[in-house]
Amino acid sequence: MSEILIKIDSDRSISDVFQDNCAALEANGFQPVTTHSLKDSKVVFVLGGPGSGKGTQCKRIVERYKVTHFSAGDLLRAEVASGSEKGKELEETMKEGKLVPLEVTLGLIEDAMKRSGDSPSFLIDGFPREINQGLEFERLITPCCVVLSYECSEEVMMQRPLERGKTSERADDNEETIKKRFHTFKESMMPVLNYYDKEGKLRKINDGL
Ligand code: AMP
Protein backbone atom coordinates (compact mmCIF):
# COMPACT_ATOMS: atom_id res chain seq x y z
CA MET A 1 0.00 0.00 0.00
CA SER A 2 1.36 3.47 -0.79
CA GLU A 3 2.09 5.86 2.04
CA ILE A 4 -0.18 8.81 2.66
CA LEU A 5 2.33 11.22 4.15
CA ILE A 6 5.43 11.48 2.04
CA LYS A 7 8.18 13.72 3.30
CA ILE A 8 10.38 15.21 0.64
CA ASP A 9 13.64 16.85 1.54
CA SER A 10 13.46 20.09 -0.40
CA ASP A 11 16.89 21.21 0.63
CA ARG A 12 18.21 19.78 -2.65
CA SER A 13 18.28 20.63 -6.35
CA ILE A 14 14.95 21.26 -8.12
CA SER A 15 15.34 18.15 -10.26
CA ASP A 16 16.11 15.89 -7.28
CA VAL A 17 13.03 17.18 -5.45
CA PHE A 18 10.96 16.77 -8.60
CA GLN A 19 12.11 13.14 -8.93
CA ASP A 20 10.66 12.44 -5.49
CA ASN A 21 7.39 14.19 -6.42
CA CYS A 22 7.08 11.96 -9.48
CA ALA A 23 7.84 8.80 -7.53
CA ALA A 24 5.13 9.71 -4.98
CA LEU A 25 2.53 10.50 -7.64
CA GLU A 26 3.27 7.45 -9.78
CA ALA A 27 3.10 5.21 -6.71
CA ASN A 28 -0.49 6.48 -6.49
CA GLY A 29 -1.35 5.68 -10.08
CA PHE A 30 -0.69 9.03 -11.73
CA GLN A 31 0.18 8.67 -15.41
CA PRO A 32 2.89 10.92 -16.83
CA VAL A 33 2.01 13.05 -19.84
CA THR A 34 3.27 10.92 -22.70
CA THR A 35 5.93 12.20 -24.98
CA HIS A 36 3.68 11.27 -27.88
CA SER A 37 4.83 13.22 -30.88
CA LEU A 38 2.79 14.00 -33.97
CA LYS A 39 5.43 12.07 -35.92
CA ASP A 40 4.11 8.85 -34.38
CA SER A 41 0.48 9.50 -35.26
CA LYS A 42 -1.53 7.81 -37.99
CA VAL A 43 -3.01 10.26 -40.47
CA VAL A 44 -5.75 9.68 -43.04
CA PHE A 45 -6.49 12.36 -45.63
CA VAL A 46 -10.07 12.57 -46.91
CA LEU A 47 -10.54 14.19 -50.30
CA GLY A 48 -13.44 15.05 -52.56
CA GLY A 49 -15.11 17.96 -54.32
CA PRO A 50 -17.79 20.20 -52.83
CA GLY A 51 -20.74 18.10 -51.66
CA SER A 52 -18.92 14.80 -52.23
CA GLY A 53 -19.81 13.70 -48.70
CA LYS A 54 -16.47 14.13 -46.90
CA GLY A 55 -18.02 15.62 -43.75
CA THR A 56 -20.86 13.10 -43.57
CA GLN A 57 -18.57 10.10 -44.00
CA CYS A 58 -16.06 11.45 -41.46
CA LYS A 59 -18.79 11.78 -38.83
CA ARG A 60 -19.65 8.11 -39.30
CA ILE A 61 -15.98 7.04 -39.21
CA VAL A 62 -15.53 8.90 -35.89
CA GLU A 63 -18.50 7.03 -34.41
CA ARG A 64 -16.84 3.72 -35.21
CA TYR A 65 -13.11 4.31 -34.72
CA LYS A 66 -10.87 6.03 -32.18
CA VAL A 67 -9.77 8.87 -34.38
CA THR A 68 -9.75 12.64 -34.11
CA HIS A 69 -11.39 14.41 -37.02
CA PHE A 70 -10.59 17.85 -38.41
CA SER A 71 -12.03 19.52 -41.44
CA ALA A 72 -9.71 22.07 -43.06
CA GLY A 73 -12.81 24.05 -44.14
CA ASP A 74 -14.25 24.05 -40.57
CA LEU A 75 -10.95 25.23 -39.10
CA LEU A 76 -10.86 28.04 -41.66
CA ARG A 77 -14.50 28.99 -40.99
CA ALA A 78 -13.73 29.11 -37.25
CA GLU A 79 -10.87 31.51 -37.98
CA VAL A 80 -13.24 33.68 -40.05
CA ALA A 81 -15.85 33.59 -37.28
CA SER A 82 -13.23 34.76 -34.76
CA GLY A 83 -13.25 38.12 -36.57
CA SER A 84 -9.43 38.25 -36.70
CA GLU A 85 -7.60 40.21 -39.42
CA LYS A 86 -6.41 36.90 -40.84
CA GLY A 87 -10.02 35.68 -40.80
CA LYS A 88 -11.20 38.66 -42.89
CA GLU A 89 -8.67 37.90 -45.62
CA LEU A 90 -9.61 34.23 -45.57
CA GLU A 91 -13.29 35.05 -45.94
CA GLU A 92 -12.67 36.88 -49.22
CA THR A 93 -10.64 33.97 -50.63
CA MET A 94 -13.25 31.43 -49.56
CA LYS A 95 -16.10 33.43 -51.10
CA GLU A 96 -14.15 33.28 -54.36
CA GLY A 97 -13.95 29.48 -54.00
CA LYS A 98 -10.14 29.72 -54.11
CA LEU A 99 -7.57 28.01 -51.94
CA VAL A 100 -6.23 29.93 -48.95
CA PRO A 101 -2.43 30.06 -48.54
CA LEU A 102 -0.72 26.83 -47.62
CA GLU A 103 0.89 28.12 -44.41
CA VAL A 104 -2.50 29.20 -43.02
CA THR A 105 -4.22 25.84 -43.51
CA LEU A 106 -1.18 23.87 -42.42
CA GLY A 107 -0.73 26.06 -39.32
CA LEU A 108 -4.38 25.63 -38.28
CA ILE A 109 -4.24 21.87 -38.76
CA GLU A 110 -0.96 21.49 -36.88
CA ASP A 111 -2.31 23.59 -33.96
CA ALA A 112 -5.50 21.55 -33.84
CA MET A 113 -3.50 18.31 -33.81
CA LYS A 114 -1.27 19.56 -31.00
CA ARG A 115 -4.30 20.66 -28.97
CA SER A 116 -5.94 17.28 -29.32
CA GLY A 117 -3.94 15.79 -26.43
CA ASP A 118 -2.60 12.35 -27.05
CA SER A 119 -4.74 11.31 -29.96
CA PRO A 120 -2.88 8.57 -31.84
CA SER A 121 -4.78 8.96 -35.10
CA PHE A 122 -6.30 11.72 -37.20
CA LEU A 123 -8.79 12.02 -40.00
CA ILE A 124 -8.19 15.24 -41.92
CA ASP A 125 -10.82 16.16 -44.46
CA GLY A 126 -10.43 18.69 -47.24
CA PHE A 127 -6.65 18.46 -47.08
CA PRO A 128 -4.35 18.41 -49.01
CA ARG A 129 -6.04 20.30 -51.80
CA GLU A 130 -2.86 20.86 -53.74
CA ILE A 131 0.25 18.78 -53.90
CA ASN A 132 2.46 21.23 -51.98
CA GLN A 133 0.12 21.04 -49.00
CA GLY A 134 0.58 17.27 -48.86
CA LEU A 135 4.34 17.42 -49.32
CA GLU A 136 4.77 20.11 -46.64
CA PHE A 137 2.48 18.31 -44.18
CA GLU A 138 4.40 15.09 -44.64
CA ARG A 139 7.76 16.84 -44.32
CA LEU A 140 6.83 18.80 -41.18
CA ILE A 141 4.41 16.46 -39.41
CA THR A 142 4.23 12.88 -40.62
CA PRO A 143 3.45 10.88 -43.78
CA CYS A 144 -0.20 9.91 -44.16
CA CYS A 145 -1.03 6.20 -44.21
CA VAL A 146 -4.03 6.27 -46.54
CA VAL A 147 -5.96 8.75 -48.69
CA LEU A 148 -9.72 8.29 -49.13
CA SER A 149 -10.93 9.98 -52.27
CA TYR A 150 -14.68 10.37 -52.88
CA GLU A 151 -15.61 10.35 -56.52
CA CYS A 152 -18.80 12.12 -57.40
CA SER A 153 -20.48 13.40 -60.56
CA GLU A 154 -20.42 17.12 -61.31
CA GLU A 155 -24.21 17.18 -61.09
CA VAL A 156 -24.25 15.78 -57.54
CA MET A 157 -21.39 18.08 -56.53
CA MET A 158 -23.59 21.03 -57.54
CA GLN A 159 -26.86 19.73 -56.14
CA ARG A 160 -25.77 18.76 -52.61
CA PRO A 161 -24.21 22.09 -51.59
CA LEU A 162 -27.15 23.96 -53.16
CA GLU A 163 -29.52 21.88 -51.05
CA ARG A 164 -27.36 22.41 -47.96
CA GLY A 165 -27.22 26.14 -48.73
CA LYS A 166 -30.97 26.42 -48.07
CA THR A 167 -30.37 25.81 -44.37
CA SER A 168 -26.64 26.23 -43.72
CA GLU A 169 -25.00 29.54 -42.90
CA ARG A 170 -22.09 28.90 -45.23
CA ALA A 171 -21.34 31.89 -47.42
CA ASP A 172 -19.97 29.66 -50.19
CA ASP A 173 -22.94 27.31 -50.72
CA ASN A 174 -24.41 29.35 -53.58
CA GLU A 175 -24.40 28.49 -57.27
CA GLU A 176 -21.76 30.98 -58.33
CA THR A 177 -19.25 30.02 -55.60
CA ILE A 178 -19.91 26.29 -55.93
CA LYS A 179 -18.94 26.54 -59.63
CA LYS A 180 -15.70 28.28 -58.65
CA ARG A 181 -14.99 25.73 -55.91
CA PHE A 182 -15.57 22.96 -58.38
CA HIS A 183 -13.21 24.59 -60.89
CA THR A 184 -10.49 24.98 -58.19
CA PHE A 185 -11.00 21.37 -57.17
CA LYS A 186 -10.58 20.04 -60.71
CA GLU A 187 -7.54 22.21 -61.34
CA SER A 188 -5.56 21.39 -58.20
CA MET A 189 -6.63 17.88 -57.26
CA MET A 190 -5.25 15.76 -60.14
CA PRO A 191 -1.57 16.05 -59.09
CA VAL A 192 -2.56 15.18 -55.49
CA LEU A 193 -4.47 12.06 -56.53
CA ASN A 194 -1.73 10.98 -58.97
CA TYR A 195 0.93 11.42 -56.31
CA TYR A 196 -0.84 9.29 -53.68
CA ASP A 197 -1.84 6.74 -56.30
CA LYS A 198 1.84 6.24 -57.18
CA GLU A 199 2.61 5.94 -53.45
CA GLY A 200 0.02 3.13 -53.28
CA LYS A 201 -2.01 5.05 -50.68
CA LEU A 202 -5.05 6.14 -52.69
CA ARG A 203 -8.44 4.48 -52.10
CA LYS A 204 -11.12 5.71 -54.50
CA ILE A 205 -14.66 5.56 -53.19
CA ASN A 206 -17.69 6.06 -55.41
CA ASP A 207 -20.02 8.44 -53.64
CA GLY A 208 -22.83 9.40 -55.95
CA LEU A 209 -21.64 9.01 -59.54
P1 AMP B 1 -14.83 22.81 -47.58
O2 AMP B 1 -15.42 23.03 -46.24
O3 AMP B 1 -13.89 21.64 -47.62
O4 AMP B 1 -15.87 22.76 -48.68
O5 AMP B 1 -13.91 24.11 -47.90
C6 AMP B 1 -14.48 25.39 -48.00
C7 AMP B 1 -13.44 26.39 -48.52
O8 AMP B 1 -12.37 26.50 -47.56
C9 AMP B 1 -12.76 26.00 -49.82
O10 AMP B 1 -13.55 26.38 -50.95
C11 AMP B 1 -11.46 26.81 -49.73
O12 AMP B 1 -11.68 28.20 -50.01
C13 AMP B 1 -11.12 26.69 -48.25
N14 AMP B 1 -10.29 25.49 -47.99
C15 AMP B 1 -10.70 24.32 -47.42
N16 AMP B 1 -9.70 23.45 -47.32
C17 AMP B 1 -8.61 24.07 -47.85
C18 AMP B 1 -7.26 23.68 -48.06
N19 AMP B 1 -6.80 22.47 -47.73
N20 AMP B 1 -6.42 24.58 -48.63
C21 AMP B 1 -6.84 25.79 -48.98
N22 AMP B 1 -8.11 26.22 -48.83
C23 AMP B 1 -9.00 25.38 -48.28
pLDDT on residue 139: 94
Decide whether any atom of ligand 1 lies within 6 Å of the 127 Cβ.
yes
Same domain, 72 and 110: yes
pTM summary value: 0.81
Same domain, 88 and 117: yes
Which has the minimum average pLDDT: 2-16, 23-37, 108-122, 177-191?
23-37
Q: Are residues 51 and 149 in the same domain?
A: yes
pLDDT at 85 over 60: yes
Q: Which domain holds residue 78?
A: 38-206
133 lines ligand 1 (CB under 6 A): yes
**87 Cβ contact partners less than 8 Å away, ≥ 6 residues apart:** 79, 80, 81
* Residue-level pLDDT at 171: 85
What number is the average pLDDT over the span 73-91?
91
- Tens of pLDDT, residue by residue over 128-177, are 999 999 999 999 999 999 999 999 888 888 888 888 888 888 888 888 99
Q: Are 27 and 82 found together in one domain?
A: no
- What mean pLDDT do residues 92-109 have? 94
Binding site membership of 182 for ligand 1 (Cβ less than 6 Å): no
**Are residues 1 and 64 both part of a single domain?**
no
Q: Is the pLDDT of residue 34 over 70?
A: no
What is the per-residue pLDDT for 71? 96
My answer on whether 9 and 47 are in the same domain is: no
Q: Quick one: 45 and 105 in the same domain?
A: yes
pLDDT at 156: 87
How far is it, in rounded angstroms, from Cα 113 to Cα 68? 8
Output 115 or 122, whichever has higher pLDDT: 122
Same-domain pairing of 17 and 100: no
Whole-number Å distance between alpha carbons of 115 and 111: 6
Which residue's CA is the nearest one to ligand 1's atom 19?
127
Atom of ligand 1 nearest to the CA of 125: 3
Alpha-carbon gap, residue 11 to 79, rounded angstroms: 49
- Tell whether 92 and 128 lie within a shared domain: yes
- Say what the pLDDT of residue 1 is: 57
For residue 57 and ligand 1, the question of a CB distance below 6 A is answered with: no
What average pLDDT does range 28-36 have in this prediction?
A: 72
- Whether the per-residue pLDDT at 76 is higher than 70: the answer is yes
Higher pLDDT, 73 or 168: 73
In this structure, which residue's CA is closest to atom 22 in ligand 1? 99
Gap between the Cα atoms of 82 and 128, Å rounded: 23
Q: How far apart are CA 88 and CA 142, in angstroms?
A: 30
The residue that leads in pLDDT, 147 or 39, is 147
Pairing label, strands 121-125, 202-206: unpaired
Q: Is the CB of 94 under 6 A from ligand 1?
A: yes
Using a 6 Å cutoff on CB, does residue 161 contact ligand 1? Answer: no
**Residues 52 and 140 placed together within one structural domain of the fold:** yes
Question: Same domain, yes or no, for 1 and 57?
Answer: no
Based on the fold, state whether residues 4 and 82 are members of the same structural domain.
no
Q: What CATH number is associated with residue 44?
A: 3.40.50.300
